[in-house]
Amino acid sequence: MKKKLVSLLVVSAMTLSMLVGCGNSAAETATEVAETATEVAETATEVAETVAETAGNADLADKKVGVCIYQFADNFMTLFRTELENYLISQGFAKDNITIVDGANDQATQTNQIQNFITQGVDVLIINPVNSSSAATITDLVVGANIPLVYINREPDADEEARWESNGWNVTYVGCDARQSGTMQGEILVDLGQDKIDLNGDGKIQYIMIEGDPENVDAQYRTEFSVKALEDAGWAVEELDDQVGNWDQATAQQLVANSLSAHPETEVVFCNNDAMALGALQSIEAAGRKVGEDIYLVGVDALTEALEDVLAGTMTGTVFNDHIAQSHGAADAAINYITGAGNEYYIGCDYVKVTTDNAQSVLDSLK
């Protein structure tokens, strides 16, 4: 690239001497020389930017990134980790220096993986904790090894986040506020109107709740705020059942089958994520029920299959959990730590309410 710049400068000098020697008028010569000089300056800028970009990428190529995912079997986290790896590579990291491990939904396993990454001397850690309640222990391990830490998807509690700031640690959280996702689940129903949702006309909404992991703050907030949205709209509610599906489709399928059998009056099924909503849908259909006619079903994540069900009318709605923005934000935060730029202690993004009105556009954006 430097040779190209030198060659262009030489050409510029030769052009100037040729123009003067050919007897052009002073005005014409000045104009042509100015134009040539401008072209050279623009090219020089482009070359400099390319050199700087190449240098920046080279600086990242030998950096090691450790990524801990709570469970590879989770549909959403599969999308997340795939996008994260691809984006890190696009930013200049070598694929061989990006190691992503499966915590198998076991905190002891994940803690061992974190300790292994510390021993290996990774330059940054990106962690999706199995248990959010273990964040303080994880933070102490990583900070004690002087390694920057980016938490993703499962947010540590407010006290833990305050601890990072008070100590000035290189720790941040990248993700969305789960309260918003729960609120949007409820709003999808409120937007349809109480008369439509209150199928038996008794003046209250009978629902069953299928939670993720009760220790996980996302599950807690989605459970609480989905119902709160109905109450805030002035609706009376009645909880018929509340079960823990651990984010798993097969588990949710069995739980919903049992709940519908015990509570045929169920009008709404809330699921903390789409994987469980897909399992719930299997049991709803097996029970001879039809979403949108005699029962309503909402989830979170906007998985491709769930979006297709929303378009088909077999799911009432879902909430887009933007894995693209979040994974890119996590990678950018990791880069900021490596380059010394630093980060805020909380890097947030917004969920998107998804119904038949916009499900196709969200689906198209994921292709």
**pLDDT by residue (tens digit) across 95-134?**
999 999 999 999 999 999 999 999 999 999 999 999 989 9
291/199 Cα distance (integer angstroms): 12
Spatial separation of the C-alpha atoms in residues 254 and 330, rounded to whole Å? 35
| Three-state secondary-structure class, residue 259 | helix
Which of 279 and 52 is assigned the larger pLDDT? Answer: 279
> Quick one: 166 and 287 in the same domain?
no
Pair 29, 87 in one domain: no
Residue 363 falls within a domain, yes or no? Answer: no
Residue 291 maps to a domain: yes
Domain count, the chain: 3
Ramachandran area for residue 203 (φ above 0: left; ψ -120 to 50: alpha; else beta): left
Helix or strand run (H / E) with residue 37:
helix 26-61
Q: Are 273 and 76 in contact (CB under 8 A)?
A: yes
> Which DSSP helix (H) or strand (E) runs through 61?
helix 26-61
Token digits of residue 221: 């907030």
Domain boundary among 15, 43, 60: 60
Specify whether 141 is located in the same domain as 76.
yes
Tokens representing 99 are 């190691």
Dump pLDDT digits (tens) for 90-102. 999 999 999 999 9
Has residue 358 been placed in a domain? no
- 295 and 191 within one domain: yes
Residue 340 shares a structural domain with residue 316? no
Confidence of residue 12 (pLDDT cuts 50, 70, 90): very low
Residue tagged 């990583």 (tokens): 142
Q: Is residue 220 part of a domain?
A: yes
Residue 307 has which token pair? 């979006």
Tell me the one-letter amino acid at 109. Answer: T
Of 129-133, 164-168, 247-251, the poorest mean pLDDT is in 129-133
14 in a domain, yes or no? yes
Residues 208 and 250 in one domain: yes
- The CATH number of whichever domain residue 71 belongs to comes to 3.40.50.2300
Range of the domain at 284: 179-320
Q: Note whether 167 and 184 are same-domain residues.
A: no
What is the rounded average pLDDT of the residues 261-280?
Answer: 98
Last residue of a domain, one of 44, 60, 76: 60
Distance CA 360, CA 133 (A): 37
Are 313 and 329 contained in the same domain? no
Binned at pLDDT 50, 70 and 90, residue 53 comes out as very low
Q: Residue 103 domain-assigned? A: yes
* Same domain, residue pair 256 and 341: no
27 and 90 fall within a common domain: no
Least confident of 4-8, 22-26, 352-356: 4-8
Q: Are residues 260 and 336 in the same domain?
A: no
> Which tokens in the block code for residue 318?
């879902």
Between these two residues, 199 and 5, which has the higher pLDDT value? Answer: 199
For residue 366, being part of any structural domain is answered with no
How far apart (Å, rounded) are the C-alpha atoms in residues 152 and 127? Answer: 6
Q: Are 180 and 211 in contact (CB under 8 A)?
A: no
The residue ranking higher by pLDDT, 362 or 30, is 362
For 89, residues 6+ apart whose C-beta sits below 8 A from its C-beta are 95, 98
Reading phi first (left if > 0) and then psi (alpha if -120 to 50, else beta), residue 191 is in: alpha
**Is position 359 within any domain?**
no
Same domain, 165 and 126: yes
